[in-house]
């Protein structure tokens, strides 16, 4: 996917950062001495701005109300104009000017875009795309993730920066690289990657025998007799071996994570008082495993551009529009993932849309109220701070169309006032709210093996892992149910329900985790293709659904890709309701110990089970064999959640989002109207409303895109 589609010791790192007397005053007035400063900032480009404007910019930012900036992540050309010749004087000057206005600085390391001298001198660092074509060093993110030389050059650059800024007043943290997963070509297929892959396989498998067995290289005479024979999945005279392809996706993710960690080691050593993060879009931009990418950094940072969703919702190949709910819920999913990936730690929005967005085309101008709504949405789901992208709007370069808070002529943008007011309001929530936790009663599984294996062999071309996860998430979002994202390998006992669509690959560890979860009283809800493959990417040598057959209490009669023909679904008992259609896929189920909640109505499988429920241990397991349309899916998932005792925080109309954060006895319930119409919400008790400071009860009406924070 390209443009389309803390705190380990939060207090620790930040307290050190706020030892600086100027920055201490950056913190909100009532900040307790042991808390973190509030991070409301902008992304800023002194490297793209005439020096004569730096002071004015810093003064205006202070007036605007922000207290930090993120800078330098695309300034390699200026920081190392020739190999080994570093120039940080300009950047120090910029940091000093910003600090004089009480701006804390997050520095970005620039490995996402090396300068032309580097790619000219070392052309071997360039990425090779999935068609074997060397990518031109023209845009950004065109380098190979495994190339040792490029990694050394990146580490040397980060080391130079770290040495120069380790004790520079004003600097509080680092962003490593920029968006590891958002680029035109998601994976590299160069010779360096091929050699790296072979090395990685040697470590993973130990012997060629094990590799040959796992991949099943007996098929099409692919038996490897030396690791150096192993190819990468470039175009050939037939599809690649699926085991090889899955391992290659894993290896590419590993190479990116390893390159981040090399910079991390240096920054940790040289800048022990600074926090370190990286900004990315998790899950749906899926070339790097986000659980691994963020494992060792201090907190997750995420770049939030709801406008992209609008562009792609309306453009796309089909020319059809995505429903509004799906856009809002997809953004919510990204936020929930950003919070969940590090076990619920508050995350930072490193970049937040602040106007019309786009590279060659513009996204729509956000309606009045939407910029504010999107900021509150991020905070509702666990953000501790937000940087707006970007301060000004570039008059040159690939993102001339990407509107910041100042227009091309440096006049205030249409959203300027709204964002300034939002920042004041959000600061007013205070550090306790911004660092509070988000308690979800249910979890949704996102598993990269299942994702990648499905991409390699979708079974039916319309089967897409990200789509299924988004649809299931969207159903729960529509039911106003808070959701954590998990990979189903950790202890799940705090959840009432685990939802896991399209879990095509099930590892032994996941099978154990899920079996224990259900055995101990949890409710497991899953869908078609469950457990068809093992972690080696072989089809399991068991009746489906494989390792979880006893938990589900069913055996698959057949799995059926659906193309132009139709299949109908008739619901009964718990799920009673109007008949539905099943498109794309149908797993036909034979209940062993399970009860039947829906049957197919057409063709050879009419009357056979489509949805089942099995009691297992103290819990239960639901199998949705039929791939339902979103409205039917929403109904079914919400009935199951309700039957498991999951209650929405508030009852609200579709398009109104509800999310709750908690700290001790305190809670903040965010009510967010994503629609352009007024919406009413009925409250069961009286609340204090944080933005207005008033008390609210009974039926309240939210204006279009209106926001309320209830405590
Ligand atoms: C982000 C990226 C920024 C800028 C922004 C607008 O994803 O990190 O550098 O490109 O999008 O396109
Ligand atoms: Zn490569």
Please state, in angstroms and rounded to a whole number, the distance separating the CA atoms of residues 375 and 306: 11
Ligand nearest to the CA of 187: 2
3-state secondary structure of 439: coil
pLDDT (0 to 100) of residue 284: 87
* CATH architecture, domain defined by 442-643: 3-Layer(aba) Sandwich (3.40)
3-state secondary structure of 275: strand
Task: Quickly list DSSP for 20-41.
Answer: SHHHHTTS-TT--TTSPPPEEE
**Residue 468: both structure tokens together:** 């299924």
From 4, 349, 389, mutation site for ligand 1 pocket: most ligand atoms within 8 A of C-beta: 389
**Residue 488: both structure tokens together:** 């189903």
Task: Quickly list DSSP for 353-418.
Answer: E-S---SSSPPPPPPTTHHHHHHHHHHHTTEEEEEEE-SS--SSSTTTT---SB-TTSPBPTTHHH
Backbone angle region of 618, left / alpha / beta, with phi > 0 → left and psi within -120 to 50 → alpha? alpha
CB 625 within 8 A of CB 501: no
CB 370 within 8 A of CB 51: no
Query: Could you tell me the distance, in angstroms and rounded to a whole number, from the CA of residue 183 to the centre of ligand 1?
Result: 10
The pTM score is 0.94
3-state per-residue secondary structure call for 41-91 = EEECCHHHCCHHHHHHHHHHHHHHCCCEEEECCCCHHHHCCECCECCCHHH
In the Cβ-directed half-sphere of 416, how many Cα atoms lie within 13 Å?
17
Ligand nearest to the CA of 149: 2
Backbone angle region of 647, left / alpha / beta, with phi > 0 → left and psi within -120 to 50 → alpha? beta
Query: Could you tell me the distance, in angstroms and rounded to a whole number, from the CA of residue 251 to the centre of ligand 2?
Result: 11
Ligand nearest to the CA of 146: 2
Q: Which CATH superfamily is domain 656-710 in?
A: Golgi alpha-mannosidase II (2.60.40.1180)
From 303, 353, 397, mutation site for ligand 1 pocket: most ligand atoms within 8 A of C-beta: 303
Task: Quickly list DSSP for 293-343.
Answer: HTSSSSEEEEEE-HHHHHHHHHSTTT-PPPPHHHHHHHHHHHHHHHHHTTT
- Give the residue whose CA is nearest to atom 7 of ligand 1: 303
Q: Which CATH superfamily is domain 3-185+257-434 in?
A: Glycosidases (3.20.20.80)
Q: Pocket residues for ligand 1 (CB within 6 Å)?
A: 178-179, 182, 303, 351, 389, 399, 402
Please state, in angstroms and rounded to a whole number, the distance separating the CA atoms of residues 484 and 497: 11
Query: Could you tell me the distance, in angstroms and rounded to a whole number, from the CA of residue 300 to the centre of ligand 2?
Result: 26
Give, as residue ranges, everything with CB less than 5 Å from ion ligand 2.
144, 188, 190, 192-193
Please state, in angstroms and rounded to a whole number, the distance separating the CA atoms of residues 474 and 468: 10
- Give the residue whose CA is nearest to atom 1 of ligand 1: 303
Q: Which helix (H) or strand (E) holds 467?
A: helix 465-478
Domain ranges of the chain: 3-185+257-434, 442-643, 656-710
CB 658 within 8 A of CB 650: yes
| Mean pLDDT of each 10-residue bin along the chain, 711 residues long | 34 40 40 57 98 98 97 98 97 98 97 98 98 96 98 98 98 97 94 98 98 98 98 97 98 98 98 96 93 97 85 46 73 97 96 90 88 98 98 96 96 98 96 93 98 98 95 94 96 97 98 98 98 97 98 98 94 97 97 98 96 98 97 97 94 93 96 96 96 95 97 96
pLDDT (0 to 100) of residue 11: 31
């Amino acid at each position: 996917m390209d443009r389309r589609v803390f705190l380990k010791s939060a207090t620790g790192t930040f307290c050190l950062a706020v030892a600086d007397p100027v920055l201490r005053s950056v913190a909100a007035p009532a900040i307790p001495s042991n808390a973190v400063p509030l991070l409301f900032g902008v992304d800023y480009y002194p490297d793209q701005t005439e020096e004569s404007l730096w002071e004015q910019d810093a003064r205006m930012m202070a007036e605007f109300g922000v207290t930090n900036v993120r800078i330098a992540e695309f300034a390699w050309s200026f920081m190392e104009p020739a190999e080994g010749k570093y120039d940080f004087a300009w950047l120090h000057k910029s940091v000093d000017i910003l600090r004089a206005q009480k701006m804390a600085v997050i520095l970005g390391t620039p490995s996402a875009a090396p300068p032309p001298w580097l790619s000219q001198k070392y052309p071997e660092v360039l990425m090779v795309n999935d068609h074997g074509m060397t990518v031109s060093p023209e845009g950004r993110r065109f380098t190979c993730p495994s190339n040792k030389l490029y990694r050394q050059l990146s580490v040397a650059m980060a080391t130079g920066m770290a040495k120069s800024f380790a004790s520079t007043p004003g600097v509080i943290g680092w962003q490593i690289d920029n968006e590891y997963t958002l680029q035109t070509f998601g994976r590299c297929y160069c010779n360096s990657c091929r050699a790296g892959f072979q090395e990685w396989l040697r470590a993973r498998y130990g012997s060629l025998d094990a590799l040959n067995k796992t991949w099943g290289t007996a098929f099409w005479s692919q038996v490897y007799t030396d690791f150096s024979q192993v190819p990468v999945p470039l175009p050939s005279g037939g599809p690649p071996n699926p085991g090889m392809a899955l391992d290659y996706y894993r290896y590419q993710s590993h190479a990116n994570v390893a390159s981040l960690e090399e910079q991390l080691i240096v920054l940790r050593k040289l800048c022990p008082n600074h926090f370190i993060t990286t900004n990315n879009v998790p899950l749906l931009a899926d070339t790097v495993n986000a659980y691994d990418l963020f494992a060792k950094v201090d907190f997750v940072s995420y770049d939030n551009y709801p406008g992209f969703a609008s562009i792609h919702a309306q453009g796309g190949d089909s020319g059809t529009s995505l429903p509004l709910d799906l856009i809002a819920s997809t953004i919510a999913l990204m936020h929930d993932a950003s919070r969940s990936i590090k076990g619920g730690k508050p995350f930072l929005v490193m970049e937040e849309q602040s106007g019309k967005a786009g590279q060659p085309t513009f996204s729509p101008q956000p309606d009045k109220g939407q910029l504010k709504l999107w900021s509150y949405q991020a905070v509702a789901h666990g953000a501790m701070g937000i940087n707006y992208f970007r301060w000004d709007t570039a008059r040159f370069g690939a993102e001339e169309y990407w509107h910041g808070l100042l227009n091309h002529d440096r006049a205030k943008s249409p959203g300027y006032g709204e964002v300034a007011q939002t920042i004041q309001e959000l600061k007013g929530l205070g550090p306790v709210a911004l660092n509070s936790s988000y308690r979800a009663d249910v979890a949704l599984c996102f598993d990269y093996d299942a994702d990648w294996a499905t991409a390699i062999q979708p079974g039916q071309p319309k089967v897409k892992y990200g789509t299924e996860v988004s649809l299931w998430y969207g159903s729960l979002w529509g039911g106003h149910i808070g959701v954590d994202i998990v990979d189903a390998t950790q202890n799940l006992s705090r959840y009432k329900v685990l939802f896991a669509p399209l879990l095509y690959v099930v590892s032994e560890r996941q099978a154990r985790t899920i079996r224990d979860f259900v055995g101990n009283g949890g409710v497991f809800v899953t869908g078609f293709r469950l457990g068809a493959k093992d972690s080696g990417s072989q089809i399991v040598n068991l009746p489906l659904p494989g390792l979880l057959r006893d938990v589900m209490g069913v055996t698959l009669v057949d799995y059926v890709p659906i193309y132009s023909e139709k299949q109908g679904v008739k619901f009964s008992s718990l799920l009673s309701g109007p008949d539905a259609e099943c498109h794309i896929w149908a797993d036909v189920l034979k209940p062993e110990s399970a009860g039947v909640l829906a049957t197919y109505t057409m063709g050879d499988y009419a009357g056979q089970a489509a949805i089942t429920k099995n009691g297992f241990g103290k819990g239960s397991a639901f199998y949705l064999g039929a791939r339902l349309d979103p409205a039917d899916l929403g109904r079914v998932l919400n009935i199951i959640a309700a039957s498991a005792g999951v209650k929405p925080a508030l009852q609200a109309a579709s398009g109104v989002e509800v999310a709750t954060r908690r700290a001790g006895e305190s809670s903040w319930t965010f009510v967010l109207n994503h629609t352009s119409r007024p919406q009413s919400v009925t409250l069961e008790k009286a609340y204090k409303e944080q933005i207005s400071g008033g008390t609210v009860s009974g039926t309240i009406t939210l204006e279009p895109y209106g926001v309320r924070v209830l405590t």
